[in-house]
Amino acid sequence: MPAADLVLKGGTLVSASGRLEADLVIKDGKVLAWMGGELIPSVGEVIDVRGKFLLPGLIDSHVHIRYPGGGERENFASGTRAAASGGITTVLEHPVSSPSVYSAEIFSDRKRVCEPHAYVDFGLYGSMGSENLDSLDELAEAGAIAFKCFLQDIATPGREEDYFGVTATDEGVMYEMFERVAATGRPAAVHAESNDMVLHGMKKMQAAGRNDIIAHHDSRTVANELVSCATVLEMAKATGARLLVCHVSGGTVVEFLRSARDRGYNVLIETCPHYLFLSLEEVVELGPYAKINPPIRTAEERDHLWRELARGSVDFIGSDHAPFYKEEKEPGWEEIWKAPSGAAGLETTVPLMIDAAVQGRLELEDLVRLMAENTARHFDLWPKKGSLSPGSDGDVVVVDLEGERPVSRDAMFTQGAPSALLYDGRTLGGQVLMTIVRGEPVYREGRITGGEGFGELVLPRNP
């Protein structure tokens, strides 16, 4: 056997289908072999991981670092450091930025400005919307991992440039958008909330003098999501598009989508940790810091979501990391409509899922399926990413299921730490000990050990 660069000795390898005790050998950034007590080849470094679990590099399917837009809410260095500390080896960055990624030229420019600051690998979404229908082919050729659209023609005041090319003016445009994306073979990802129903719900709450976090929830109903999902399901079926419904907020909508899939609709379902680990009843005291779109739902919806997750209905989990300044959130205490929607999540997503494994709510195999294998397969990155098979990238997350660890904003690497209140102070079982990207440890027990600029853009295979 040729000399190796890194051997992780004595751990338990975890895939979606099972576990294997073996030494993991990495050479030139790739998994070289698994070994079971054989003579270890000459090696640059041996790390003892006895009693620990080795997961394939985990992929966050839903990230809004927004760089080079977004001001100092986050930059690509701080965001990818946060990913590394949270056990994420690849982030899939959504197209909202200044400008949004609505052309091949902007895609190439975003790669140019992001790559020198990346600590982990990353893929880039392209925008799909009313303004860029003729640019979708060239975006796919440039390497867009998928396309994203908001099913509405509104943007947050002051952020119009961020949303240019990523909103749909009407259903006719939406249908043509699905036709164009279907021809590329890439996933068509949607934020499934109806513009008309959102505006009507907000006006109704404001007319009633309701300005708190529950009013935000009541203005963006489960019925809203269901109506939007019904529309895009039929459009995707008619056009042959690979539909991805992002950040589904509760069990009712997941069940609806799963039922459609059982009937032959081609739909992928993503949910997020805040819908699994929080409920509306719990976050009232967090006010604007818990304002997210779609809203965090009731405990009943959350429990229904867990049942659908156990059934295998959910394809993958993404953080929907979207930090804002504390100063931007605070006005929402007086009027929830004044606060932007979004929260930091890169550093808490995997620890929350590990804690769920410790508590017996899921298995580590489920975590691998939901954040490695499925994600890599559906975004056409398999087997380069999401696998520990020989020849795959040497991306590994070393997990310890023993002990407990508090969530603390003070220990976070994200620049959104001051407003990261969702889980602050919660004690979680287990932890991420080490994050390895292409054979290089980039995070080790509380420290960033990788270099800025080590991360690379990943490109999907031809579908």
The residue type found at 382 is: W
Please tell me whether residues 136 and 267 are part of one structural domain. Answer: yes
Read off the amino acid at residue 376: A
- From 186, 182, 146, select the one nearest 166 (Cα to Cα): 146
Alpha-carbon dihedral 421, 427, 433, 437, rounded to 10 degrees = -30
In this structure, the answer to whether residues 344 and 444 fall within a common structural domain is no
* Full DSSP string of 45-106: EEEE-TT-EEEEPEEEEEE---TTSSTTS--HHHHHHHHHHTTEEEEEE-S-SSS-S-SHHH
Q: Are residues 259 and 142 in the same domain?
A: yes
Query: Is 345 within a domain?
Result: yes
Domain-terminating residue out of 347, 378, 409 = 378
Domains in the chain, number: 2
Do 400 and 424 have their domain in common?
A: yes
Both 311 and 258 in a single domain?
yes
Given 378, 411, 429, the domain boundary residue is 378
Of 353, 378, 403, the residue at which a domain comes to its end is 378
Place of tokens 């081609």: 266
- Residues 255, 370, single domain; the answer is yes
Pair 347, 443 in one domain: no
What is the domain extent for residue 317? Answer: 58-378
Q: Are residues 28 and 75 in the same domain?
A: no
CATH number at residue 304: 3.20.20.140
Q: Within this chain, do residues 313 and 179 fall inside the same structural domain, yes or no?
A: yes
State residue 155's pLDDT score: 54
- Asked if 253 and 304 touch (Cβ cutoff 8 Å), the reply is no
Q: Which of 440, 451, 430, 428 lies closest to 396 in space, CA to CA?
A: 440
Whether 258 and 346 share a structural domain: yes
230 and 263 assigned to the same domain: yes
CA distance 384 to 305: 30
Going by the DSSP 8-state scheme, the letter that residue 459 receives in this structure is -
- Predicted structure pTM score: 0.97
Residue pair 293/223 in contact by the 8 Å Cβ criterion: no
Spell out the per-residue pLDDT of the chain, length 463, in tens: 567 899 999 999 999 999 999 999 999 999 999 987 666 666 789 999 999 999 999 999 999 999 998 778 999 999 999 999 999 999 999 998 888 999 999 999 999 999 999 999 999 999 999 889 999 999 999 999 999 999 866 656 666 666 777 888 788 989 999 999 999 999 999 999 998 999 999 999 999 999 999 999 999 999 999 999 999 999 999 999 999 999 999 999 999 999 999 999 999 999 999 999 999 999 999 999 999 999 999 999 999 999 999 999 999 999 999 999 999 999 999 999 999 999 999 999 999 999 999 999 999 999 999 999 999 999 999 999 999 999 999 999 999 999 999 999 999 999 999 999 999 999 999 999 999 999 999 999 999 999 999 999 999 998 6
Residues 199 and 348 in one domain: yes
pLDDT on residue 182: 98
Preceding peptide of 56 cis, ω within 30°: no
- Rg of the chain taking only CA atoms, in angstroms: 21
Q: Is residue 307, in this structure, part of any structural domain at all?
A: yes
Phi and psi at residue 113, in whole multiples of 5°?
-85, -25
Establish if 406 belongs to a structural domain.
yes
In a domain, 208, yes or no: yes
* CATH number of the structural domain spanning residue 41: 2.30.40.10
Whether 371 is covered by a domain: the verdict is: yes
Among 267, 299, 426, CA closest to 351? 426
